[in-house]
């Protein structure tokens, strides 16, 4: 139990780690109240450390006090960059009148949802079942054993005071009623979070679900849903996977039309920071124009990957620009000195939403000359009246190509002028009060950014991204992993990690390590991913029914249910990500135990997938990969001993030149290409009739230890094709893997190269 001296000492240690948020201060400006949250390592909890409310963190101490004093628990869940969380804090939690009632009649617990997403999922499910909707701050009332009996989200002070009075009155006068409500709600939560029975996956499940997703797309503005409008990255990941498998030209694919409209809508809208790069969390309107201005690390990692994949498929230079600008923003503004990444920046500056990001027309008139102001109006749609409370959220009403044509400029000249204007506006903006940056580092979200950096380093050949990805991965491995136990930590603040990792942390960090292995081909990264898989199995696996629990067994406080969710939200859920991770590990390691584990993982969630297939688009993506390996630019054969990939080196209106690279592990070789037998190494164009001419050049075979000629180490096959019709280039590589003791059966892999002219130089 913390003493007053413990709280004072913690306050002194953490002075530089958080801003004091309270109206109650002494003559020297020091806070009058300090509660137990000062002991925590979460910026969100530290924001409440000087409330007059006697807050507890989630754990046994709080529930022991509730039982000892026979008081119900009030649970508040939020996060540091949540606007309405700030509002409820200022109105209620930093108010003596509210604090007096909470302290007298309740045990108050504060939880950072980013530290404990398992608790957030559990109690948010309860609130959604009660009210039909959810959001933050989450406000829930619990029994002595942690079961919710009532809840909601934001409550204004007067409403909240009345609610506190009603709950404490019923608790003392009619408790049986509350306990009955708790029993009913507990049963409903368990049913909602428990997996469905095993079911047979019907043929065409992924295709039917994808067709439904296309029907649900917003064909006017791009994306999915109404206002408020979120990027829904899991939907885009599934559609990009569908496009990769489709041999038709991009413009003939309905999935590509939906992806393109979504990506164009976001990059043109105010949800994208046109000056500083990076994406805001969501748009308050259907057309992506006015954002909620907070920036979350997970959006940057996921959307950078989405735009990068879209560029790889299409060669559209705008998608590459957005991917690079987003990653550059993260490296510039969200990177810690150790190399890891902070979790978020706030929507507010000086208590005003969007103040840091919007532009007053008079300010632009003062700072820009007439020519640049005219260009700013044409490109970014600024006006005297503005589009957000009299100010301007910069956006692109027209594409940059359309603007260049309308102004009689070349695209290169327009880009050069915009770079000059953007730099000037960025420097001006830096002089404003900055939004709060949540310096908490979350393993899950760092994993997403590391994966995107590694993918971009591979595709764009950018060494700075490579070095940044390696540095961040080393930071997580060193500071977010207990070297003795091998367990991961979920989050850290100021170098201190104190919350055990959850399923999503393992899943997304493993994916990042796999992407680093693909980038560097250093066995270290694959071995680390396999080590984390062993630890995940020990701490999170459901050994009876398959799948993985979100939380480990030894999390503190009550655990009403160990949930195994399969629902993608703003991020890809852990069990969906684990399906793709297990498949990738099998392809790269050749571990013979993994296929059975993959099948068991699929079976564990089969009932839920049949009932609600679009609840987890990325699980469907995994099903598609397991049924048919994707024809992507990096593939593995011979249980990971052979890596293959392609590079587009020239793409014009008439010609496509591709290099197919093959890298063999030491001790392995493949047959020569010029053997007159079925085992010969062969590269062929599958859709040969779509191309006028095809020329394939193999390197000269070398003598092998077997006495025959073949290939070992690294080789590159050069293919040049002249276009006949507008179609992707379909390739099939055939080879026979051999080591010093035996030759394996012939293996094949496919590549489908969607391209347009200028792709290689984009």
- Determine how β-strand 655-664 pairs with β-strand 642-651: antiparallel
- Determine how β-strand 107-112 pairs with β-strand 73-78: parallel
Q: Which CATH class is domain 361-431?
A: mainly alpha
- pLDDT tens digits, one per residue of 176-233: 999 999 999 999 999 888 777 899 999 999 999 999 999 999 999 999 999 999 999 9
| Mean pLDDT of the 345-364 span | 94
What confidence tier does 67 reach under pLDDT thresholds 50, 70, 90?
very high
Give the pLDDT confidence score for residue 323 in this predicted structure: 98
Three-state secondary structure of 360-418: CHHHHHHHCCHHHHHHHHHHHCCCCCCCECCEECCCCCCCHHHHHHHHCCCHHHHHHHH
SS3 586: helix
SS3 340: coil
| Mean pLDDT of the 689-696 span | 91
Tokens (6 digits) for 27? 């003559």
Which of 140-149, 339-348, 720-729 is the least confident region? 720-729
CATH number of 205-353+438-627: 1.50.10.10
pLDDT of 757 strictly over 60:
no
How far is it, in rounded angstroms, from Cα 737 to Cα 754?
A: 28
The pairs formed by 375-379 with CB atoms below 8 angstroms and a separation of 24 or more are 375/407, 375/417, 375/418, 375/421, 376/421, 378/403, 378/406, 378/407, 379/403, 379/414, 379/418
Give the pLDDT confidence score for residue 724 in this predicted structure: 66
Give the pLDDT confidence score for residue 762 in this predicted structure: 35
What confidence tier does 487 reach under pLDDT thresholds 50, 70, 90?
very high
CB count in 10 Å sphere of residue 677: 7
Domain spans of the chain, in order of start: 4-193, 205-353+438-627, 361-431, 634-753
Which run of H or of E encompasses 577? helix 574-589
Give the pLDDT confidence score for residue 756 in this predicted structure: 59
What confidence tier does 686 reach under pLDDT thresholds 50, 70, 90?
very high
- pLDDT tens digits, one per residue of 505-564: 999 999 999 999 999 999 999 999 999 999 999 999 999 999 999 999 888 888 888 899
pLDDT of 654 strictly over 60:
yes
Give the pLDDT confidence score for residue 54 in this predicted structure: 97
Name the burial class of residue 347, with classes exposed (0-12), middle (13-18) and buried (19+) by CB atoms within 10 angstroms of its CB: buried
Q: CA of 189: how far to CAs of 326, 562, 604, in Å? A: 38, 11, 19
How far is it, in rounded angstroms, from Cα 463 to Cα 460?
A: 9
Q: CA of 303: how far to CAs of 310, 320, 396, 642, 754, in Å? A: 10, 11, 18, 30, 21
How far is it, in rounded angstroms, from Cα 672 to Cα 733?
A: 13
What confidence tier does 604 reach under pLDDT thresholds 50, 70, 90?
very high
How much of the chain exceeds pLDDT 90, in percent?
88
The pairs formed by 153-160 with CB atoms below 8 angstroms and a separation of 24 or more are 153/84, 153/127, 154/84, 154/87, 154/88, 155/88, 155/92, 156/91, 157/91, 157/92, 157/95, 157/98, 160/88, 160/91, 160/92, 160/98
| Mean pLDDT of the 658-687 span | 95
What confidence tier does 758 reach under pLDDT thresholds 50, 70, 90?
very low
Q: Could you tell me which of 158, 164, 114 has the C-alpha nearest to residue 139?
A: 164
Residues ≥6 apart with Cβ < 8 Å to 117: 502, 504, 550
| Mean pLDDT of the 737-748 span | 94
What confidence tier does 15 reach under pLDDT thresholds 50, 70, 90?
confident
| End-to-end Cα spacing for the chain | 61
What confidence tier does 759 reach under pLDDT thresholds 50, 70, 90?
very low
How far is it, in rounded angstroms, from Cα 61 to Cα 1?
A: 8
CATH code matching the domain that covers 4-193, chosen among 3.40.50.300, 3.30.2270.10, 3.40.630.10, 3.40.30.10: 3.40.30.10
| Mean pLDDT of the 665-676 span | 94
Q: Domain 634-753 adopts which CATH fold?
A: Immunoglobulin-like (2.60.40)
What confidence tier does 650 reach under pLDDT thresholds 50, 70, 90?
confident
Residues ≥6 apart with Cβ < 8 Å to 558: 63, 145, 146
Query: HSE-up of 260 (CA within 13 Å, CB side)?
Result: 15
How far is it, in rounded angstroms, from Cα 21 to Cα 458?
A: 44
pLDDT of 743 strictly over 90:
yes
Residues ≥6 apart with Cβ < 8 Å to 739: 641, 667, 668, 669
Across the chain, mean pLDDT equals: 94
Give the pLDDT confidence score for residue 692 in this predicted structure: 87
């Amino acid at each position: 139990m913390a003493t007053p001296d413990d709280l004072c000492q913690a306050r002194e240690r953490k002075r530089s780690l958080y801003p004091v948020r309270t109206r109650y201060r002494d003559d020297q400006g020091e806070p009058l109240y300090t509660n137990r949250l000062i002991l925590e390592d979460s910026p969100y909890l530290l924001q409440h450390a000087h409330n007059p409310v006697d807050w507890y963190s989630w754990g046994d101490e709080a529930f022991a006090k509730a039982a000892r004093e026979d008081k119900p628990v009030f649970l508040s869940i939020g996060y540091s960059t949540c606007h309405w969380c700030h509002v409820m804090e200022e109105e209620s939690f930093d108010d003596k009148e509210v604090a007096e009632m909470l302290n007298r009649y309740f045990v108050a617990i504060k939880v950072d949802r980013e530290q404990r997403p398992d608790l957030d999922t559990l109690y948010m499910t309860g609130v959604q079942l009660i009210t039909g909707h959810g959001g933050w701050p989450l406000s829930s009332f619990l029994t002595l054993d942690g079961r919710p009996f009532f809840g909601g989200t934001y409550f204004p002070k007067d409403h909240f005071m009345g609610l506190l009075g009603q709950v404490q009155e019923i608790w003392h006068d009619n408790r049986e009623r509350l306990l009955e409500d708790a029993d009913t709600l507990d049963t409903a939560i368990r049913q909602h979070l428990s997996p469905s029975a095993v079911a047979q996956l019907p043929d065409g499940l992924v295709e039917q679900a994808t067709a439904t997703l296309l029907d649900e797309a917003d064909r006017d503005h791009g994306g999915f849903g109404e206002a408020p409008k979120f990027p829904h990255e899991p939907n885009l990941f599934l559609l990009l996977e569908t496009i990769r498998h489709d041999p038709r030209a991009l413009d003939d694919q309905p999935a590509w039309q939906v992806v393109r409209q979504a990506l164009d809508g976001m990059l043109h809208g105010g949800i994208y920071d046109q000056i500083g790069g990076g994406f805001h969390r969501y748009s308050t309107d259907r057309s992506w124009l006015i954002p909620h201005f907070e920036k979350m690390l997970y959006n940057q990692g996921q959307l950078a990957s989405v735009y990068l994949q879209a560029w790889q498929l299409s060669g559209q230079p705008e998608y590459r620009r957005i991917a690079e600008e987003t990653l550059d923003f993260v490296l510039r503004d969200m990177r810690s000195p150790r190399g890891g990444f902070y979790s978020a920046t706030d929507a507010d500056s000086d208590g005003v939403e969007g103040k840091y990001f919007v532009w007053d027309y008079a300010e632009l008139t003062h700072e820009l000359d007439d020519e640049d102001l005219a260009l700013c109006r044409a490109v970014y749609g600024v006006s005297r009246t503005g589009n957000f409370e009299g100010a301007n959220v910069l956006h692109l009403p027209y594409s940059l190509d359309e603007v260049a044509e309308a102004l009689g400029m070349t695209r290169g000249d327009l880009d050069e002028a915009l770079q000059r204007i953007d730099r000037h506006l960025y420097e001006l903006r830096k002089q404003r009060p900055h939004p709060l940056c949540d310096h908490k580092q979350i393993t899950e979200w760092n994993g997403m950014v590391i994966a995107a950096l590694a993918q971009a380093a591979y595709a764009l050949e950018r060494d700075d991204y490579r070095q940044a990805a390696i540095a961040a991965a080393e930071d997580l491995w060193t500071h977010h992993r207990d070297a003795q136990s091998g367990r991961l930590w979920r989050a850290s603040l100021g170098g201190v990690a104190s919350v055990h990792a959850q399923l999503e942390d393992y899943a997304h960090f493993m994916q990042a390590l796999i992407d680093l292995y693909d980038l560097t081909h250093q066995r270290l990264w694959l071995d680390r991913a396999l080590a984390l898989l062993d630890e995940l199995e020990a701490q999170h696996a459901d050994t009876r029914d398959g799948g993985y629990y979100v939380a480990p067994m030894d999390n503190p406080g009550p655990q009403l249910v160990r949930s195994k969710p399969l629902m993608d939200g703003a991020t890809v859920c852990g069990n969906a990500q684990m399906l793709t991770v297990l498949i990738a590990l099998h392809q790269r390691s050749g571990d013979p135990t993994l296929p059975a584990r993959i099948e068991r993982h699929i079976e564990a969630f089969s009932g839920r997938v049949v009932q609600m297939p679009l609840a987890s688009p990325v699980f469907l993506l995994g099903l598609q990969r397991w049924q048919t390996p994707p024809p992507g630019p990096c593939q593995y054969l011979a249980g990971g001993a052979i890596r293959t990939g392609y590079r587009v080196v020239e793409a014009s209106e008439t010609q496509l030149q591709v290099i197919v690279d093959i890298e063999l592990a030491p001790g392995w070789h493949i047959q020569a290409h010029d053997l007159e037998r079925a085992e010969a190494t062969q590269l062929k164009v599958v859709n040969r009739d779509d191309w006028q001419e095809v020329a394939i050049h193999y390197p000269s075979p070398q003598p092998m230890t077997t006495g025959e000629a073949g290939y070992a180490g690294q080789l590159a096959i050069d293919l040049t094709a002249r276009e006949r019709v507008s179609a992707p280039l379909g390739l099939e590589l055939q080879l026979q893997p051999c080591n010093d003791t035996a030759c394996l059966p012939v293996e094949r892999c496919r590549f489908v190269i969607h391209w347009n002219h200028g792709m290689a130089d984009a």
